[in-house]
Amino acid sequence: MKRKTRVGLITSGGDCQGLNAAIRGIGKTLLHYVDNVELFGMYDGYRGLVDGDYKFMEDGDFSGILTEGGTILGTSRQRYVPGKMIVDDDGNDLMPAMLDTYTRLNLDCLVVMGGNGTQKSAKLLMDAGMNVITLPKTIDNDIWGTDTTFGFQSAVDIASNVIDYIHSTASSHSRVFLVEAMGRDAGWLTLHAGIASGADIILIPEIPYDIDKIVEAIEQRKKRGRNFSIIAVAEGAVSTTDAVLTEEERRAAKETMGHSTISYQLASQIEKRTGQETRVTIPGHYQRGGPPCPYDRVLATQFGTAAAKLIMERQYGRMVAVQNGQIVSITLEDAASRTKFLPVDHPLITSARDVGVSFGD
Ligand code: F6P
């Protein structure tokens, strides 16, 4: 009798929209084309692989989940020692336990859906001898080697909607508003949402801001009769002063800044300098919640089906990606090698500048 194909599915790191659509894409495609396939859904990311805590997934598990937010498998963030180990809270190496589950279940391959950190840790699994295929998911859109990631567009929709709604109240009260978007150290989400909803000032980590320039842009608007200003701020935005600090110095500066996030610090500086009432709105994890937008449903389905095809062709050690509108795959080594930050000469930044957006520089 033909040997079974056994595949483990893992969703790891921060969740985002489209994970279930991707799970569905993988499961349905494999069940459609491969006789004798067995699918194991690991619970809570790598934790399920460490503890051998999994669900044997059947046809029905892949139905009715296309539009559902979150992940039906659960997720968790692993502690990762850069390039070396995945460890528990006491610093113990988790690889032997993961290898044990992989071997015990006689898996042919693991499909790992995750962001930047997950791509890096999936590479460690590969180096330890496991067959791995990954999918790029994150609202941050910062994974190297793919033009976009699923979850990103849904988060852009939400963040844009927040900025759209802030416009009317900002205008009624003649206030400055800062809307802080997620995205870690990359400005993709803030840039897209800022452009989509007509923010006047966009602050991203890749372009350090000068508070004088921000104040100048607000005053200029006032001179032109605009009684309010909207600033889209990336959570990782930095001032020109902080940009030259080492990582350690920056961490220390953050601890002493006396504000919970960069937006509150900026709001206090702006209010003092302009005399204009200034408020902060932070949508936070709301940006990662709820159903995927149709674009992400399509993208995650395409990524899922492509991962299934890689499994059928036994092409392991690869991340599915989209490049110039085509679904491709690249080596996991390449995908995990670096972070995709926004190039400062990106055409979108140029377009934003063309319509008068200030980047505080
Ligand atoms: O990487 C996705 C992300 O949502 C970032 O944008 C954000 O900085 C971080 O995760 C938040 O992490 P957590 O969900 O662990 O608070």
Question: Are 278 and 306 within one domain?
Answer: no
Name every residue whose Cβ is closer than 8 Å to that of residue 119 and which is 6 or more positions away in sequence: 134, 136, 143, 319, 332, 335, 336
Tell me the CA–centroid distance for residue 184 and ligand 1, in Å: 7
Residue 13: per-residue pLDDT: 95
Position in ligand 1 atom list of the atom nearest CA 236: 8
Does residue 258 lie in a domain region?
yes
- Which is catalytic among the residues 15, 44, 140, 296? 140
Last-in-domain residue among 288, 314, 346? 288
Band (26; pLDDT cuts 50, 70, 90): very high
Question: Are 15 and 135 within one domain?
Answer: yes
Residue 83: per-residue pLDDT: 85
Q: Whose CA is nearest to atom 11 of ligand 1?
A: 14
Q: Is 140 a catalytic residue?
A: yes
Question: Are 102 and 159 within one domain?
Answer: no
Q: Which of 182, 190, 261 should be mutated for ligand 1, with most atoms under 8 A from CB?
A: 182
Question: Are 113 and 47 within one domain?
Answer: yes
Q: Is 126 helix (H, G, I), strand (E, B) or coil?
A: helix
Residue 2: per-residue pLDDT: 65
CATH of the domain at 93: 3.40.50.450
| Euclidean distance between CA atoms 30 and 64, whole angstroms | 17
Question: How many domains are there within the chain?
Answer: 2
- Angle of helix 211-223 relative to helix 262-274, nearest 10 degrees, comes to 50
Which whole number is the average pLDDT over 110-135?
Answer: 97
Q: Percent of the chain, pLDDT > 90?
A: 93
Contact 138 CB / ligand 1 (< 6 Å): yes
Tell me the CA–centroid distance for residue 332 and ligand 1, in Å: 22
Question: Are 220 and 205 within one domain?
Answer: yes
Question: Are 13 and 81 within one domain?
Answer: yes
Question: Are 121 and 139 within one domain?
Answer: yes
Question: Are 83 and 117 within one domain?
Answer: yes
Position in ligand 1 atom list of the atom nearest CA 288: 4
Does residue 328 lie in a domain region?
yes
Does residue 87 lie in a domain region?
yes
Last-in-domain residue among 222, 254, 288? 288
| Euclidean distance between CA atoms 139 and 233, whole angstroms | 15
* Chain segment 235-287, per-residue pLDDT in tens: 999 999 999 999 899 888 888 888 899 999 999 999 999 999 999 999 999 99
Contact 115 CB / ligand 1 (< 6 Å): yes
Mean pLDDT of the chain, nearest integer:
96
Does residue 217 lie in a domain region?
yes
Question: Are 100 and 202 within one domain?
Answer: no
Contact 318 CB / ligand 1 (< 6 Å): no
Instruction: Tell me the residue range of the domain where 225 lies.
Output: 154-288
**pLDDT surpassing 80 at residue 360:** yes
